[in-house]
Structure 1
Amino acid sequence: MHRYRPTTARITRLLPALVAALVAAPLATPVPAANAATAYSGYVMGYFTESNQGLGNNYGLHLAVSSDGLEWTPLNQNAPVVTPTAGTKGLRDPFILRKQDGTFTVMATDLAGTDFSQTNQYIHVWDSTDLRSFTNYRRVKVHSMATTHAWAPEAFWDAGRGQYALIYSANNGTRDVIMADYTTDFTTFSAPVTYFDPGFGIIDADVVVGGSGTNYLYYKKGNELYGAKSTSLAAGSFNTTTYTGPIAHGGTEAPILVKSLTGNGWTLWGDTYTPNGLFYAWQTSAIDGGVWTAADQRTYTQPVNSKHGTITPITATEMAALKTTWGTPAWNRLKSYNYPGDFVRHSNFTGRIDAFPFDPYLDAEWKIVPGLADGTGVSFESVNFPGRYLRHSGFAVVLNANDSTAQFAADATFHRTAGLASSGAVSYYSHNYPDRYLRHADFQLRIDPLSAASPATDRADATFLVTS
């Protein structure tokens, strides 16, 4: 067989073009292998958004990142990074799977809005090397039961089968159960089988494959979360192994199990659809024991309006790349220290704290800018009323338009100091009344001096947590 041998002259002619092609080629983010040796240093969350009056509803895929898995920074200004273009053209319940080769598959319920009476045999699927671009979008059929749905798809690697198990909620004609299809490419699937049926209706399964031989499946029954465990991943193996009591804060669904990156601790997230549509978190240092303790709300903040999410570990390189591509918020929120479910907001141009969620949700978003009267201080500019700032007037805090006077600038400038109730938080004192601190009283914002009668209460009222 003749073999072509390029001459030195030909190599010399081709070399400039080859070098130019290599220089022009984009550098891909290194893809880590999905194994225990990967050095993860944070997490990415995927979610969709809904607010209590619908102003924040968006049924595309949103992303947020976190170093500790508790405090979250929304990406892309909390706008979607990709949106389905087929089916209902919207998604709920996204799930991000890191596959065995280190790349990602994203899947989600094909449902835009809240009409849960719809029957739908399909889910949305994308591939992604780095969650900065999404390719090979497809809407895939996962079962042929015409009178039921395919909700909350998730997946895990079943090493014993050498396949991924795709699990989802569906009704078998008697009750809601968890079904499973098996696949290697998330395009072609096996016939569905009943994966988890404990004998009563359940939805929203989250499976974690344990490294020590024990696997965990958490699910929603009624308005509460429960956990099951098994040494097998076979269909039916979790049916009789529920080992926790109920876990809930109001009506709770969509469990997410998250392993600590630095120890044996675990966090369990639950999406509370009643009474207030928030994530709540529980923690344990011994997941096998099944005893979960509610986490202090001061230690965690969910992305704005986030619903039914998914959390996946990522490397420092991946987190940096996600922030570079999508950007981090140009605004902040201020959470009350002693009412950690409440956020600083304006309402009728008056400053106050209120329990989230509320609409307009933008009332609680602030651009924290250099102080109008002193650049070493700060001023709080409204996101949805640009040019209006929090300022004190008669010691009450209001939202007024900047009139460019020295008086306004002084009234709208505050100086940051270590939190009066906790050094890990922050307090603000008035620029022109430095003995008075920004605080809430009966949920209204004011500037007041610390009283001798209630120093602990005053300090807590004047302490805030700056979040995204």
Structure 2
Amino acid sequence: MNKHLLYILLLFSCRPAKEVYMFTSFREPATDGLHLLYSYDGIKWTDLKGVVLKPENSILRDPSIVKGPDNNYHLVWTNSWKGNTGFGYAESNDLIHWSKQKTINVMEDEPGTVNIWAPEIFYDEEQQQYIIIWASAIPQRFPKGIEAEDNNHRMYYTTTKDFTTFSKEKLFYDPGFSIIDAVIVKMEKDKYALVLKDNTRPERDLKVAFATRPTGPYANCSAAITGHLTEGPATVRIGNEWLIYYDNYGEKKYNALKTTDFKQFTTQEIVIPSGHKHGTIFKTSGKNLHKLMLWLKEQQPSS
């Protein structure tokens, strides 16, 4: 089938939309690269079935994308389990053609750092800068809790306006226990929520803390809002509600909650392809989705 005919068929087979939701994803063992899901309502998701970006080194886990005011998609990800001082970064204007991958070595002045896990990127409109947060364990840095020192994580952050110059890393949030997988949510002006995983062995569930600025300080950490063995939260606003997607890895499935205030939650039924793992949700145009579908079709071997 020639490419022109294939493109026409794709246009008619896909529901037209000005904007669609996209969900970043990876597949274990995270060596093949970035996967994407798409949805027209933010509830029923379809796998694009293909790798959008292959890691040049090691792994690509926990991919987080935000579309900036420059109309580029900025991607960060976990690029090593342990022993690294940074996270992966690349950018694209169409989700097809990507810049050269690089490692942002945000913890190189902390030689005791065990790991850098699940970087999450957030664009702060008020300060016109990107905030990137991640979890790191630095043995003996914090009071001994119930976790091993190499698993006693806290959240750190850096800021940048251009992905060339970055602020010195700072402690982002210390709730007094091991914490990973945190995401910033702007509820409204001067009101922010932080959805996080309490990573202590008895808990391993999601909680929420609050602040008046995206960089904190965060406080009033809630009780657990999910069950045991849950992680990897991703949030999206649909109308007047937010959905919180999360990996219910204890039961080997994905779940979601909905809320209007991050204090009261109800279950949201969703449709998620099997194998989907820890990502973030953003939007792209329907036209860009069609181009991406065509490109992925072209990458598949001819039968």
Which of the five TM-score ranges fits, normalised by the shorter chain? Answer: 0.7 to 0.9
1:126 aligns with 90
Alignment of 1:145-160 (within 5 A): 145-146=110-111, 147-160=113-126
Distance 1:67-1:136 versus aligned 2 partners, 3 A rule: same
- AA aligned to 2:261 is I
Aligned residues: 266
C-alpha distance after superposition, 1:371-429 (max 9, x if no partner): xxxxxxxxxxxxxxxxxxxxxxxxxxxxxxxxxxxxxxxxxxxxxxxxxxxxxxxxxxx
- Asked whether the 8 Å contact 1:249–1:280 carries over to 2, the reply is no
Distance 1:185-1:158 versus aligned 2 partners, 3 A rule: same
Tell me the distance in 2 between the aligned counterparts of 1:161 and 1:46: 26
- Asked whether the 8 Å contact 2:257–2:267 carries over to 1, the reply is yes
1:182 aligns with 159
The alpha carbon displacement at 1:271 in A equals 1.1
Tell me the distance in 2 between the aligned counterparts of 1:182 and 1:40: 31
Return the structure number with greater relative CO, CA threshold 8 A, min gap 6. Answer: 2
The alpha carbon displacement at 1:280 in A equals 1.0
DSSP 3-state at the match of 1:164: strand
Aligned partner of 1:322 among 264, 289, 292? 292
The Cα RMSD (Å) is 2.2
2:220 aligns with 241
- Asked whether the 8 Å contact 1:156–1:209 carries over to 2, the reply is no
The alpha carbon displacement at 1:196 in A equals 1.1
**Alignment partner of 1:280 is 2:255:** yes
1:301 aligns with 271
1:218 aligns with 195
The alpha carbon displacement at 1:159 in A equals 3.8
Tell me the distance in 2 between the aligned counterparts of 1:85 and 1:65: 25
- AA aligned to 1:84 is P
- Asked whether the 8 Å contact 2:31–2:55 carries over to 1, the reply is no
1:388 aligns with none
TM-score, normalising length from structure 2?
Answer: 0.81
The alpha carbon displacement at 1:107 in A equals 0.9
Aligned partner of 1:84 among 46, 52, 55? 55
Tell me the distance in 2 between the aligned counterparts of 1:91 and 1:303: 19
Distance 1:80-1:109 versus aligned 2 partners, 3 A rule: same
The alpha carbon displacement at 1:67 in A equals 0.6
DSSP 3-state at the match of 2:100: strand
Tell me the distance in 1 between the aligned counterparts of 2:290 and 2:136: 38
Distance 1:40-1:189 versus aligned 2 partners, 3 A rule: farther
Tell me the distance in 1 between the aligned counterparts of 2:264 and 2:231: 18
DSSP 3-state at the match of 1:133: coil
Aligned partner of 1:135 among 96, 99, 104? 99
- Asked whether the 8 Å contact 2:235–2:280 carries over to 1, the reply is no
Distance 1:292-1:61 versus aligned 2 partners, 3 A rule: same
Aligned partner of 1:45 among 20, 23, 48? 23
C-alpha distance after superposition, 1:298-328 (max 9, x if no partner): xx22233111111112232333332233249
Tell me the distance in 1 between the aligned counterparts of 2:187 and 2:287: 26
Tell me the distance in 1 between the aligned counterparts of 2:227 and 2:43: 17
Alignment of 1:62-101 (within 5 A): 62-75=35-48, 77=49, 79-86=50-57, 88=58, 90-101=59-70
C-alpha distance after superposition, 1:272-301 (max 9, x if no partner): 22232x2211112x124x1111223xxx22
- AA aligned to 1:127 is E
Tell me the distance in 1 between the aligned counterparts of 2:42 and 2:297: 19
C-alpha distance after superposition, 1:141-161 (max 9, x if no partner): 111223321111112223444
- AA aligned to 1:43 is Y
Distance 1:58-1:84 versus aligned 2 partners, 3 A rule: closer
Distance 1:59-1:177 versus aligned 2 partners, 3 A rule: farther
Tell me the distance in 1 between the aligned counterparts of 2:154 and 2:114: 11
DSSP 3-state at the match of 1:324: helix
Q: Structure 2: state its 5+ residue gaps.
A: 1-16, 143-151
**Alignment partner of 1:209 is 2:173:** no
- Asked whether the 8 Å contact 2:18–2:287 carries over to 1, the reply is no
1:230 aligns with 211
